[in-house]
Amino acid sequence: MGRWSSPDKEPDKQRINEKIRISPVRVIGADGAQLGVLPTEEALQTARQEGLDLVEVASDAKPPVCRIMDYGKFKYQQKKRQHRTHTHQTKVKEIRVRPKTGVHDINVKINRARDFLGHKDKVLLTVMFRGREMAHVEEGRRVINEIIEQLEDVAKVEAPPTQHGRRISCTLSPK
């Protein structure tokens, strides 16, 4: 299709009902049976009697091929089929905690991480230190190891815990 093509001939749009201006057309019934070559008005009338739409499925054929179908249902099934072929892009989600983070708050973060891992995303666990908390790095390591231990049923450690300045981080990926 060129740049100057007609507006009602978009690549993913089929012409339906009154938008079909070419006559005659080859008609396929709702059950898949060939109804033969009919004038467009007669084909449209047949479709309306069945409570369905006349949809142009092959505009390049001579004469064009039209099918009697429920257009809304057809579009829904096409969209559903297209959605099924969509692939998930893996993202890295970060969970941040501090050495003094409470038990309940850590459990909330763990549940959040489970949710991310369930959606096939990776999780970057980070323990951040402020001020004099750097004197107790072992507390941060204990927190991160506890989180890893609680998530080991749904995740595997991709990168072990390492310290970078004022933070300890590790990467978990779904099993």
Question: pLDDT by residue for the chain (175 residues), tens digit each?
Answer: 445 444 444 445 788 888 888 888 999 998 888 989 999 899 899 899 999 999 998 888 888 999 999 999 988 988 888 888 878 889 999 999 999 999 999 999 999 999 999 999 999 999 999 999 999 999 999 999 999 999 999 999 999 999 999 999 999 999 8
Q: How many residues does the chain have?
A: 175
| CB neighbourhood size of 151 (10 A) | 20
Strands (E), the chain: 25-28, 34-38, 53-58, 65-69, 92-97, 122-128, 155-164, 167-174
Query: How much is the pLDDT for 146?
Result: 96
Could you check whether 17-83 and 92-174 share the same CATH topology? no
Residues 6+ apart with CB under 8 A from 25: 37, 38, 39, 40, 43, 56, 63, 64, 65, 66
| CB neighbourhood size of 143 (10 A) | 19
Q: Architecture of 17-83 per CATH?
A: Roll (3.10)
Residue ranges of alpha helices (H) inside 13-136 are: 40-49, 71-84, 103-118
d(CA 87, CA 120): 11
Instruction: Tell me the pLDDT tens digit for each residue of 1-50.
Output: 445 444 444 445 788 888 888 888 999 998 888 989 999 899 899 899 99
138: helix, strand or coil = helix
> In one letter, which amino acid is 68?
I
Extents of the domains making up the chain:
17-83, 92-174
The class of domain 92-174 in CATH terms is alpha beta
d(CA 78, CA 10): 16
Hey, which residues does 34 pair with through a beta bridge? 28
